[in-house]
Amino acid sequence: MRRVLAAIAAFALGAGLAVVGAAAPASAHTGDLLANAVCNTATGQYDVTYTLKLTNVGSTLTGTTKWRVGTTSFQGTPTNANGMDRGPISSKGNTTLTLGTESLPGTTKGGGPWVYAYTSWNDGYGKGSDGRIEGLKGDCAPPAPKEIPVPVKPSIVDLCGTSGDHVVEPRATEGVTWSISPVAGGKAKATATAKPGYVFSDGSAVKSWDFEFTDVPCVVEIPVPPKPAATEACGVDGDAVILPDDSDTVTWKLEGDPKTGAATAVATAVEGYEFPGGTTEQRYDYTFTNEPCPVIVPEPVTPEIVDLCDVDRDEVLLPEETEQLVWHVEGEPSSGSVTAVAVTKGHHVFEDGTTERRFELSFTNEPCPIELPVPAKPAAVDLCGVDDDRIVLPADTDTVSWAIEGDATTGSAVAVATAAEGHVFESGETSERFVFEFDQTECVPPTLAGSSAAALCVANVPWIDFDVVLTDPDQQSTGHTAYLVLSDGTHTERVELGPLGEDGSVDGRVLWPGAAIDEAGNPTAWPGWKQLPNGRWVVTEENFGWTHALTSASIEVNPELSIDLEYPPAVVACAPSSKSTGTPGTPVTSGDGDGQGLASTGFAGGPAIGLAGGLVLAGALALAVQLILRRKRA
């Protein structure tokens, strides 16, 4: 019974705590919707700002608030976000949200419209809020407008035709905005509107004017034609006015007769055209003499000049005088210019009836240039390919500057030497050009073909014999030292083989990495082996042990050559004795002790290897049988 009562008490207590727990959030979250109104004197309206103050909200809770503006009648605190057309606005913990703003007429009295909000939190709780502005006095009004003069009627431009017609917009004035329509159908409208806060002196805020435009065809203005040419020969037979041909804009006529001594050429503008000033007629008067015909002399040729450097040697070479012409010079060559004058004698005249011809002659008066020797042709570098081809220009001096035209890499270029101002080369030229042609043959890349390296065991010592030959006919290689590079895919060793000789080759023998000998040439270390304190040698991954399993080998100079290379096989020894019976570490000798070893690419003593291989196979078979028996016993 006690257990039953205890269970009932525990159930009741748990249920009570559950109810308290469920009710706690409802009383924890609160929202206070406030409104604040400010009179905007510029607009004459109340600017109302709505805020929502959230309190009793856990600092880690996030919420979303939606809201709307209702009417002046209260509609009840919302229980959900339905019908909320503004937001959402996010929040976290206790905060004050600015929902937004509304404008109310400045004459509003009492309360404004009700505003409703509903906030939902991520703990599943929601809270509705409401509020509005109260106590408005309806006394928010804009300031009295400023009185400004009534605008005057704008002027118009009414030209011939219609393309240039328009209303001239008045200059900008305080408080006035102009709206002017384009001319359409011969009409246009101009409207002056007082800006907010302004009023015209007659109490109005808008003034309009209507305009009408004519459509009189335009008269095209044409330039005044030049005065027609006239001929006046001796006597009267050759006197004449040469009228131009009539055109689409001007017609010509001649009044009077040149043979009577006077005539007038009249130019009349065709209908629809006029000369500057609005006139339609231009008159040109001519008078003619009746003098006897003079003797015509041919036109003189322009005199030659001698224009040398320095002014002392400049001169004018006048033609010889004749019975018809006499020559003279006005001015001095040293001044830079002179005038040669030819004057007719007696009754002689030129074909145009004049008696004088003047020829303006100019002299440079430049000082004589300093003569320079023609520079030697610059050197050029013409190698295989094009990348390194170039012209080697001399350095510029105070008297000669150098430049290159073209590009040597295209196969052709020109070196240009230019004499400085006041200088000239002995050739009489101020520049000398040197043309270069470049061979475009591609470079032959360097190669290590024919090079080799082989591993061999000599007196129980692993060696590498090498023979490196670099073939580089165009000197393209940038390296001159040979290296042997060994790698097992993880480790890499770079062994220097030595510098190349003048013939581009080097050969010799180097110890296999990890091998060592004493002064007498006896082995003291082998790659992949180490000596224990008791004198025994054991296999190890240290001391270049990885070179027993090479994945790649190459000879490198720049270029490089991949080769096949591996550590000498076990049949030729090149390793310490695994069971030393004499001095600890005494190496096993190879061959018959004559110092000759076997390279890693081949070996001697086939029968011995066959016997050794049979023994190894038998031992492996015996070991396998023993392992099988042990497993069965187990």
Centre a 10 Å sphere on the Cβ of residue 206 and count the other Cβ atoms it contains: 10
Residue 393 has pLDDT above 90, yes or no: yes
Q: Which distant-in-sequence residues (6+ apart) come within 8 Å of 507 by Cβ?
A: 465, 466, 467, 468
- The pLDDT, as a whole number, for residue 488 is 94
Centre a 10 Å sphere on the Cβ of residue 174 and count the other Cβ atoms it contains: 9
Mean pLDDT for the chain overall: 83
Query: Domain spanning 12-137: which CATH class is it, in words?
Result: mainly beta
Helix (H, G, I), strand (E, B) or coil at 51: strand
Are 427 and 375 in contact, with CB atoms under 8 Å apart?
Answer: no
What are the angstrom distances between the C-alpha of 143 and each of 201, 340, 587, 611? 17, 89, 117, 124
- The pLDDT, as a whole number, for residue 570 is 57
Nearest one of 298, 163, 286, 164 to 228, comparing CA atoms: 286
- The pLDDT, as a whole number, for residue 611 is 31
Are 66 and 81 in contact, with CB atoms under 8 Å apart?
Answer: yes
Helix (H, G, I), strand (E, B) or coil at 147: strand
Residue 593 has pLDDT above 90, yes or no: no
Residues in the chain: 634
Domain ranges for the chain, please list them: 12-137, 146-212, 220-287, 295-362, 370-437, 452-612
- The pLDDT, as a whole number, for residue 212 is 94
* Structural element, H or E, at residue 21: helix 2-28
**Half-sphere exposure (Cβ direction) of 591: Cα atoms closer than 13 Å:** 15
Helix (H, G, I), strand (E, B) or coil at 496: strand
- The pLDDT, as a whole number, for residue 572 is 60
Q: Which of 48-52, 128-132, 409-413 has the lowest mean pLDDT?
A: 409-413
Burial of residue 453 (CB within 10 Å: 0-12, 13-18, 19+) is buried
Alpha helices in 197-236 (DSSP H): none
| One-letter amino acid of 215 | D
Helix (H, G, I), strand (E, B) or coil at 168: coil
Are 119 and 78 in contact, with CB atoms under 8 Å apart?
Answer: no
- The pLDDT, as a whole number, for residue 257 is 92
Q: What is the pLDDT of residues 21-78, one digit of tens each?
A: 222 333 468 889 999 999 988 788 999 999 999 999 999 999 999 999 999 999 999 9
How would DSSP label each residue in 316-380?
A: EEPPPP-SSEEEEEES-GGGTEEEEEEEE-TTEE-TTS-SEEEEEEE---PPPPEEEPPPPPPEE
Residue 214 has pLDDT above 60, yes or no: yes
- C-alpha 527/C-alpha 455 separation (Å) is 13
Q: What's the mean pLDDT in 293-309?
A: 88
- The pLDDT, as a whole number, for residue 28 is 60
Q: What's the mean pLDDT in 95-108?
A: 91
Four-point Cα dihedral 484, 467, 546, 548, nearest 10: 170
Nearest one of 384, 379, 434 to 412, comparing CA atoms: 434
